[in-house]
Structure 1
Amino acid sequence: MSGDRPAPEGIDPAKPNAARVYDYLLGGKDNYSADRAVAKRMLEVAPENRTLAWFSRKFLTGAARLAAEGGVRQFIDIGAGIPTSPSVYETVAEIDPAVRVASVDYDPVVCVHANAITAGQTGVTPMHADFREPSDLIARLRTEAGIDFDQPVALLIVGVLHFIMDHERPAEILARFSEVMAPGSYVAFTHGSTETDDTFVNQTASDTKGSTAQFVFRSKSEVAKLFDGFDILDPGIVTVQEWLADNLPPTRLVILAGVGHKPEGPGDHG
């Protein structure tokens, strides 16, 4: 691992990490040899994945802006990753500088970088937490980040759900958040699709088995079921390219994207 900076205590740089693989694809420098090896093999199978990473990033900021323009002033960025500009905060602060952003990630390496980069940004609260423990996270969002679930929030889950295995009950996690989110809230998400090229699926499974970068592909109908209770906005659950614009090139790794809106109606905000 020549040339890599020393890993923080408790971090095994020999195991690939999803946030650091993504950081490499975006051109960042906060990654290790194991991460670069996985990313490079991904690029050998599908060289356009670097472009796809930027498509996903553009979707994230675009969905955050959509929610801000819809009146939301509280943002929960799940799996926020190593900070990249333009960030969610930079994007929505253009609409209202008084926005509040909770930047959540369970990777301690990510949190070290996030704390350093966001120091002095009063509207951003980096949090080391696990989305798979929703009740604990919701409580901490209230106390540590000042999130008021009686007011609309935007829950941003970009590049996260395909790392949550079926036995980790993604539908239950999302249902718990839906319970506490006020009407008028938004949820934005991406998810790896079963329409992905088989060669890429097999390569990814081999490279990431047992690591935090392990990937599960789901169908469009399976993804839609995760968001029962939300109205999916046009153009629906489509490829990230279709959500962004017309005529963007297809990719062998197919990433679905969508934005949901919580309608008015009875609900438990407890």
Structure 2
Amino acid sequence: MERESSGFDPHTPNVARLYDYFLGGKDHFPADRVAAERLLRVAPEIRAAARANRAFLGRAVRYLAEAGITQFLDIGTGLPAWGNVHEVARKVTPGAKVVYVDRDPVVLVHARAMPAGPGGTTVIDGDLRKPDAILRDPDVLAALDFDRPVGVLLTAVMHYLGESDRPDEIMAALRDAVAPGSHLVMSHGTSDARGAFVRKSTEVYQRAGVPLTLRSRARILELFEGFELVAPGLVWLPEWHPGQTDTIDFGNGPETSLALCGVGRKS
């Protein structure tokens, strides 16, 4: 996930470390745990939602790799966890190239410590709010050939950008930079989730200094402009090509996953 600050502050809740906590990781501090538990009191399903988002990322990367995508640009990658992009992609394409982008120094340290593997991984310090800087980064250009299809991954990151960050311009810059046949993978927290979660979670994140913009289904669809959604379209996290090994229980309905997701292809 994209970071609210590039500085390291263990006393202020941090998006990456909150997500790590929800996934059952160990890279978090007391301030993160306090904020996470406050969120869980509002929406206990957020833990399962985080796992569902991670599972969606794995299914989407596998889908892209099976469709012939061998290059991946993961922006707002967050702390390494089970099913990292390069691990999933290389089960299908051993030589897949992956670029991880984040601006959190803790995330960058952990990402750079991951085994590179046969295809090579690249990790850069970059801010989604400045897509042109990412796309012009010499390490990115050395790793990815933008004349060939690329999988652009934006999972659980766009909802940390407000409308004042001009998300449509960010999406246009990424879309215009990639070749036809490229794919966009995106998951996004939505205001179409249950009202209590939307109201309270926004308040909790705001108190933690992390603005949260939960968008409607219609608004999220607009962010896919220029990409044709593949089946089943824009759906709740557990509804996108669920696998037989998926064990996350959303007995109260898929909308309790709190986020919509989709994969689009550039013609």
Asked if structure 1 preserves the Cα contact closer than 8 Å seen for 2:94 and 2:118, the reply is no
Secondary structure (helix, strand or coil) at the match of 2:193 reads coil
Deviations 1:231-264 (A, max 9, x none): 001111111122143984335462000000011x
1:122 Cα offset (Å): 5.5
For structure 2, the residue ranges without an aligned partner over 5 or more in a row are 1-5, 244-248
CA distance in 1, matches of 2:27, 2:118: 21
1:258 corresponds to: 262
Secondary structure (helix, strand or coil) at the match of 2:137 reads helix
1:50 corresponds to: 47
Taking the TM superposition and a 5 Å limit, the aligned residue runs for 1:80-119 are 80-118=77-115
CA distance in 2, matches of 1:30, 1:105: 16
1:181 corresponds to: 178
Give TM-score, length-normalised by structure 1.
Answer: 0.88
CA distance in 1, matches of 2:208, 2:41: 20
Identity, in percent, stands at: 40
2:144 corresponds to: 147
Give TM-score, length-normalised by structure 2.
Answer: 0.89
2:3 corresponds to: none
Taking the TM superposition and a 5 Å limit, the aligned residue runs for 1:118-267 are 118=115, 123-140=120-137, 143=140, 145-209=142-206, 213-245=210-242, 248-249=250-251, 250=253, 251-252=255-256, 254-263=258-267
1:73 corresponds to: 70
**What is the one-letter code of the residue matched to 1:76?**
L
Asked if structure 2 preserves the Cα contact closer than 8 Å seen for 1:142 and 1:148, the reply is no
For structure 1, the residue ranges without an aligned partner over 5 or more in a row are 1-8, 264-270
Asked if structure 2 preserves the Cα contact closer than 8 Å seen for 1:102 and 1:145, the reply is no
Deviations 1:107-131 (A, max 9, x none): 1111111112346675211111101
Secondary structure (helix, strand or coil) at the match of 2:262 reads strand
2:18 corresponds to: 21
Aligned CA distance change for structure 1 residues 252 and 70 (closer, same or farther; 3 Å): closer
**What is the one-letter code of the residue matched to 2:260?**
L
Aligned CA distance change for structure 1 residues 43 and 141 (closer, same or farther; 3 Å): farther
CA distance in 1, matches of 2:232, 2:203: 34
Secondary structure (helix, strand or coil) at the match of 2:92 reads coil
CA distance in 2, matches of 1:14, 1:176: 35
